[in-house]
Amino acid sequence: MPTEEVKKEELVPIFIMGKRYEVPSSLTIQKAFEYAGYQLIRGCGCRGGICGACGTVYRFPGSYKIEVGLACQTVVQPNMYLTQIPFFPATKGVYDMEKIKPTIETLVKAYPELLRCLQCNTCTKSCPMDIEVMDYMAAAMRGDVARLAELSFDCVMCGLCTARCPAEICQYNIAILGRRLYGKYIAPQADHLAAMVKAVEKGKYEQMLRGLMDTDEEALKDLYNKREIEPEQADEDWTPKDKTHL
Ligand code: FES
């Protein structure tokens, strides 16, 4: 088969902000943007589905439905009309973690619009992380901070839920307040962490760190390769109670 023909078979048409490009069918939306000549200065962070910087909306011709996804994770499909929304102007409550309590009053004071939630489920349908956003909003409206924190744990703060919410609520900022409250006031405190912080403050590792700073690159690589590695914890041993890092 002539090379030209092979190339053609591998390309699909997509539309970036209305302009047509042909891009390899195996690319993610993010890579397709770059293939088409865009330089991603915003809307491109971790490239691994973690940072939430690459929220993208798209639509297929003839379809009423607005689709959403993370540009770094979603593979292009023929005739996608797409654009990125790397930043969404969401409301952000101001609060002092030392002075607030893990209650519904705290959530409502920071985000009064929380009570406008209609439970329409548009947020859940928009979430590229498959989080039950509507359910954590219900938990927030009940003042169940632990459930709010647990259900929103995988949120990458991409803002797509907020972009679609007909009640104009900023779900992901409410969720991070919930996780902060959970971490500070509800999760069991890790005593070993407090002990370790004290030891660091007293300079227990100072000499070791200075030694590392004076070590040349080859010796550092060797040290790294010979480091002690803790055995991985099996997934089934991990329960919500272990989320002390929330
Ligand atoms: S670039 Fe970080 S989630 Fe896509």
Fold identical between 9-84 and 88-208? Answer: no
> Which pTM does this prediction carry?
0.77
Ligand 1 atom nearest the C-alpha of 71 is: 4
pLDDT at 240 (0 to 100):
45
pLDDT at 230 (0 to 100):
81
pLDDT at 8 (0 to 100):
59
pLDDT at 81 (0 to 100):
96
How far, in Å, is the centroid of ligand 1 from the Cα of 46? 5
Assess whether the C-beta atom of 45 lies below 6 angstroms from ligand 1.
yes
The structure tokens listed for 167 are 């009640």
Phi-psi region of 17 (alpha: psi -120 to 50; beta: other; left: phi over 0): left
Classified as helix, coil or strand, 117 is: coil
Ligand 1 atom nearest the C-alpha of 54 is: 4
How far, in Å, is the centroid of ligand 1 from the Cα of 185? 30
Residue type, 215: T
What CATH class is the domain 88-208? mainly alpha
On whether the CB atoms of residues 76 and 25 are closer than 8 A, the answer is yes
How far, in Å, is the centroid of ligand 1 from the Cα of 94? 26
Question: Which of 137, 181, 129 lies closest to 158, judged by CA?
Answer: 129
On whether the CB atoms of residues 96 and 71 are closer than 8 A, the answer is no
Q: Please, which residues have CB within 8 angstroms of residue 243's CB and are 6 or more apart in sequence?
A: 149, 150, 153, 182, 187
Assess whether the C-beta atom of 160 lies below 6 angstroms from ligand 1.
no
pLDDT at 5 (0 to 100):
52
Domain residue extents for the chain: 9-84, 88-208
* Helix (H) or strand (E) run with residue 135 in it: helix 133-142
Assess whether the C-beta atom of 129 lies below 6 angstroms from ligand 1.
no
**CA end-to-end span of the chain, whole Å?**
55
Topology, domain 9-84: Ubiquitin-like (UB roll) (3.10.20)
Q: Which residues of 212-224 are buried (b: 16+ CB within 10 A; e: fewer)?
A: eeeeeeeeeeeee
Cα separation of 135 and 147, whole Å?
A: 9
pLDDT at 229 (0 to 100):
87
* Helix (H) or strand (E) run with residue 208 in it: helix 206-213
How far, in Å, is the centroid of ligand 1 from the Cα of 189? 31
On whether the CB atoms of residues 162 and 126 are closer than 8 A, the answer is no
pLDDT at 85 (0 to 100):
84
On whether the CB atoms of residues 52 and 157 are closer than 8 A, the answer is yes
On whether the CB atoms of residues 143 and 178 are closer than 8 A, the answer is no
pLDDT at 41 (0 to 100):
84
Assess whether the C-beta atom of 159 lies below 6 angstroms from ligand 1.
no
Which residues in the chain land under pLDDT 70? 1-9, 233-246
